[in-house]
Structure 1
């Protein structure tokens, strides 16, 4: 039997935020078994530790239907479980993922793990032609005039590509009723994992919803990888205040599906260029179980 944990990421409340499966000992599992276990857990993503040693932890991420290169909320969930298992103390931990190496930082309060921070890979950006604006609006079920003209619409990645669509306000965001078949088709055409709609709540605070039917996830509750990519995109286009070569922001996500969560992001900027992306959040253990295989 294989032990697994179900963890709520980007929240301190079990059952809120975004659920992830965590398997700390997956060295003996085949690709097919990892996929079957991810489907059994049923969380948006499950992370599997396939090898560890010398401060390096090799991991793989699976949705219920396929493997993905990286997942932010599952990384935060894994960080909590590594700390609680005694595998992570004062020494640094770096994950080896299909998207590259991801350094982790643990913040404790009174000796208790409080926050897990990850340094995501360097951001990549792709501009979109104006013709995509109307296609994305139609897929999201809104009029094109509801798209914010002062914030960037484009594709970005810090490990997993998404298209970012800015909306005028949170009311429009909350009222979205997307055509998921159209969102899936556009995601495939644009070669991205999701369509990520966001709306401003302040100069560096945003509400968001992430639709990823192409990955088998109709709506992802709270998305760490996309939060980092969004803040990097905003910083790169001068849409975040920068002080002492540093920009910070917060993403609120999950309210629309009844599991609110909060993601903190810190961006390092040098001469107008994004040099590092750090994403942090809390996590809470929901339950533990065993999988007997098929």
Structure 2
């Protein structure tokens, strides 16, 4: 079956930002396919069809993409939203844990992108929307691995976009700040905690809980995803809220020493 509507495939759509973005895309008129590792247990979202997908599995990715193309005839927009957080000092996480974060947040994006690109290039049309983070723009102490994964997505997407433009496909970024969802509750905690970092880790945990509670609602990020998906002349970066725009400007124009001091102050680190 081929639908006349634009088809959007969004990963990690069962909760949080992904769920809000899937609903917003459906409201905007897209035929939306959301994914979850166990779609049978997902609370239904009006206008969204769910399929099973594990972004860490090559076979699962290939099967999900082919299922969507078979059922709907095309994929116009891919939203790479699935992700996992991690917290703790860099020294406190094992390499196995670091690999787990990168396998979902970075290689998951790459798997999905590689799976849809032959289809999009053949149609000479497509949009890849990668959900990054404010910590893809700035350092975040006690979230080094997660921050590194989002920095990787920033570089990957910008480079990818230059490669794809001549083929009618664009790759763009959505950059949320702290968002009021349950994302933090599902973070991977350091699997090798050390007394050396315990005091500062506790301070960070309190700081992050407050930042998430006071963060933007998921709808702010969802609106940015819709804009990134449907803009006829897309930008590379879509800031999800004023805080990201402010931070981006500060990083660009404030002297490095002053910016460094501000990061330490915000994170309650000794000067």
TM-score, with normalisation over the residues of structure 2? 0.29
Q: Which has the higher contact order (CA 8 A, sep 6+)?
A: 1
TM-score, with normalisation over the residues of structure 1? 0.27
Richer in strand (by share): 1
